[in-house]
Amino acid sequence: MPYWDGYGMGVWGLTMMTVSMVLFWALVIVAIVALVRYLQRTGRVERGTVTSEELLAERFARGEIDEEEYRRRLTALDERRRRT
């Protein structure tokens, strides 16, 4: 029985094993969360690259606004561009 003679891991060995396992699982969880967030973002268009006309057309295509509202807002966007 070698542990009775003081050749075991001891308190520091058990402590280091516990800390390393906690760090390992924390790293695994952080990696999974980062992967899920990355996969959720892929396929989406970043806000800075979408023109206002494209956004308006998407809202019209989804049925959020009707044709009259679409044309009115498109005209307002054109007038705004001409002024600037």
What pLDDT digit, counting tens, does each position of 19-55 carry? Answer: 999 999 999 999 999 998 888 776 554 555 668 888 8
Q: Could you read off the pLDDT of 62-75 as tens digits, one per residue? A: 999 999 999 999 99
Q: Which residue has the higher pLDDT, 59 or 24?
A: 24
* In-domain check, residue 77: yes
Contact, 53 vs 77, CB < 8 A? yes
Query: What's the pLDDT at 1?
Result: 46
pTM beyond 0.85, yes or no? no
**Which residue segment(s) compose the domain that 84 sits in?**
30-84
The per-type count for the chain, helices as H runs and strands as E runs, is: 3, 0
Residue 37 in domain: yes
- Could you tell me if residue 13 is inside a domain? no
Query: How many domains in the chain?
Result: 1
Q: Has residue 15 been placed in a domain?
A: no
Residue 52 to residue 58: CA distance in whole angstroms: 10
